[in-house]
Amino acid sequence: MSETTVLTSPARAESSHPHRRPDPCTMVIFGASGDLTERKLIPALYYLFRQGLLPEGFGVIGCARTPYTNETFREKMRRAVVKYLNVPPDDSAFVESFHKGIYYITDDFGDPAAYEQLKQLLDKLDQDGGTGGNRLFYLATPPSFFPQIVQHLGASGLATPKFPGKSWTRIVVEKPFGRDTESARELNRILTSVFQEEQIYRIDHYLGKETVQNLLVFRFANGIFEPIWNRRYIDHVQIAVAEEIGIEGRGGYYEEAGLVRDMIQNHVLSLLSLVTMEPPSTFEATAVRDEKAKAMRAVRPFPLDRLHEYAVRGQYVEGWENGRKLPAYRSEPNVSPQSTTETFAALKLYIDNWRWADVPFYVRSGKRLPKRVSEITIQFRRAPHLLFRGTLTRAVEPNLLSVRIQPDEGISLRFNAKIPDTTMQIKPVDMQFRYSEAFATSPPTAYETLLLDCMLGDPMLFTRADFVDLAWELVTPLLNRWKEDGKKGLYFYEAGTWGPPEADHLIERDGRTWHAL
């Protein structure tokens, strides 16, 4: 076996988290030749390294089917860091230090010999880097490979900690976690037949976003919002996760997934649970995840006999953006010309508990919408008695609290103010908090936060099995019905617009409208 080298991270004298440096460990990425490793994982690890947040002796082993040597894989990762992090091509921290901790094993995921080779390399890195046997496996392959990788890890003895009680072994599972209730349960059964639940980290990168975590701080570190965070004061809530991009060459995956599996079952329902959960008693993984699951358990199943009042699905057709023609979903590569896969969904949800009874949650998400924006808006009830009514020329608008998750991260509160004049005229104005103005530093990316948490053994921002199951239980009947319906009830929208008009009808039927984004 070739000589191994381990990383020496630059100490971070100015580190704001001196205590957040994990134990030495090695991370093994299955599916390392894919997009996720280049775009997200290696850039996130590199950022952590630059901040001195990676442990001494940290190493990464990439495993995938495409043949690379250590050297050619390192070069590919260097190019990725240059491309996605904008560092110069000869960035000295990378070429002199970081890249030396990167290794590669060619593996078709089904050959026991590859796991044997992996084991030997891990043992060698343990020795050279003093990792104490700590390992982090990351499943970044297409999900059809998850079961065999997990089973091979079990069979080769790699799933159990090398030094029980002293070292740790964890596994991160990328989405999609199953494609319906049954397949998610089966995947979970396979995972838990090899790993303990405490070792399993199901990743949902939305939970690692700084603004999403700030939702908890906003709600529970301030005394003034929680008393009005309920049905007595809130009229309804809107959650929008809009994307300008299309499916970006992922036709094969998207045809199998569709918008609800890709965005709603995981990201949007996680947001919903954070907005609606009860205050946990401590800021600790079990307490937080218990409350998230309780909120999910209270979401009312879709009434299948009146589904059109609760769920609208759309698919984009050809459209225009700044003079550029955008293709229809059905003409994207690897997409069937008759596809009925949804690229947009608008849903109405209710949470059947005392806090939220009768408060509708309107959710919309889609590809090829006019802009990329994720926002949660709480619309409060109107003032109970309008003493100004006789003097006004226009209706007084309700108060809105908007949590902008991305881009232009921040929170704003809309309230009514008197227009300076000798007459009594009222106009809504916004009180704004912007991250970029309030804090001088740029926030860590979601993957930085989540990888670090995983190395530190903090599963709070990862999805527990019960939540995954509840989320699938909610959306599976909807997806099954849409599948049965085929093209009936699939509405089209031009690429670059806000979805089909039927999505507007869904909310307008209740006397409300979507907020401008």
What are the residue numbers of the active site?
A: 267
- The smaller minimum CB distance to ligand BG6, of residues 298 and 471, is found at 471
- The smaller minimum CB distance to ligand BG6, of residues 330 and 505, is found at 330
Rounded to a whole number of angstroms, the minimum distance from the CB of residue 116 to ligand BG6 is: 33
Pairing of strands 324-326, 319-321: antiparallel
- The strand order across the sheet containing 102-106 reads 102-106, 59-64, 26-30, 135-139, 169-173, 200-202
- Cβ-proximal residues to 416 (8 Å cutoff; 6+ apart), any chain: 396, 397, 399, 426, 427, 428, 429
Rounded to a whole number of angstroms, the minimum distance from the CB of residue 385 to ligand BG6 is: 42
What Cα–Cα distance (Å) separates residue 188 from each residue in 146, 183, 464, 467? Answer: 11, 8, 10, 12
- The smaller minimum CB distance to ligand BG6, of residues 243 and 332, is found at 243
Rounded to a whole number of angstroms, the minimum distance from the CB of residue 175 to ligand BG6 is: 6
Q: Does 243 bind ligand BG6 (CB under 6 A)?
A: yes
- The smaller minimum CB distance to ligand BG6, of residues 243 and 290, is found at 243
Asked if 337 and 330 touch (Cβ cutoff 8 Å), the reply is yes
Rounded to a whole number of angstroms, the minimum distance from the CB of residue 243 to ligand BG6 is: 5
The closest residue (CB) to ligand BG6 is 262
Burial environment of residue 142 by CB neighbours within 10 A (0 to 12, 13 to 18, 19 or more) = middle
The size of the interface with ligand BG6 (CB under 6 A), counted in residues, is: 2
What Cα–Cα distance (Å) separates residue 162 from each residue in 119, 319, 334, 424? Answer: 11, 56, 43, 74
Q: In sequence order, what DSSP letters do the residues of 253-316 get, joined into one string?
A: HHHHH-HIIIIIIIIIHHHHHHHHPPPPSSSSHHHHHHHHHHHHHTBPPP-GGGGGGTEEEEEE
Pairing of strands 361-366, 344-349: antiparallel
User: What are residue 166's phi and psi, to 5 degrees?
Assistant: -115, -40
d(CA 218, CA 154): 42
Rounded to a whole number of angstroms, the minimum distance from the CB of residue 262 to ligand BG6 is: 5
Q: Does 291 bind ligand BG6 (CB under 6 A)?
A: no
Rounded to a whole number of angstroms, the minimum distance from the CB of residue 390 to ligand BG6 is: 47
Rounded to a whole number of angstroms, the minimum distance from the CB of residue 236 to ligand BG6 is: 23
In this structure, how many other beta carbons lie within 10 angstroms of the beta carbon of residue 233?
13
d(CA 130, CA 160): 18
d(CA 460, CA 452): 12
d(CA 135, CA 23): 10
User: What are residue 50's phi and psi, to 5 degrees?
Assistant: -60, -30
- The smaller minimum CB distance to ligand BG6, of residues 243 and 409, is found at 243
Asked if 345 and 365 touch (Cβ cutoff 8 Å), the reply is yes
- The smaller minimum CB distance to ligand BG6, of residues 243 and 291, is found at 243
Q: Would you say the C-alpha torsion 25, 30, 36, 39 has a positive or negative sign?
A: positive
Rounded to a whole number of angstroms, the minimum distance from the CB of residue 277 to ligand BG6 is: 22
Q: Does 91 bind ligand BG6 (CB under 6 A)?
A: no
Considering only residues 477-496, where is the footprint of ligand BG6 by CB under 6 A?
none
Tell me which of 262, 342, 375, 409 binds ligand BG6, using CB under 6 A: 262
Asked if 22 and 66 touch (Cβ cutoff 8 Å), the reply is no
- The smaller minimum CB distance to ligand BG6, of residues 159 and 450, is found at 450
- The smaller minimum CB distance to ligand BG6, of residues 365 and 377, is found at 365
- The smaller minimum CB distance to ligand BG6, of residues 126 and 262, is found at 262
- Cβ-proximal residues to 109 (8 Å cutoff; 6+ apart), any chain: 30, 63, 65, 141, 145, 148, 149, 152
Rounded to a whole number of angstroms, the minimum distance from the CB of residue 226 to ligand BG6 is: 27
Asked if 112 and 156 touch (Cβ cutoff 8 Å), the reply is yes
Kindly write out the interface string for residues 192-231 of this chain, putting x where it contacts ligand BG6 by CB under 6 A and - elsewhere. Answer: ----------------------------------------
Considering only residues 360-399, where is the footprint of ligand BG6 by CB under 6 A?
none
User: Comparing C-alpha atoms, which of 101, 11, 93, 20 is closest to residue 52?
Assistant: 11
Interaction site with ligand BG6 (CB under 6 A):
243, 262
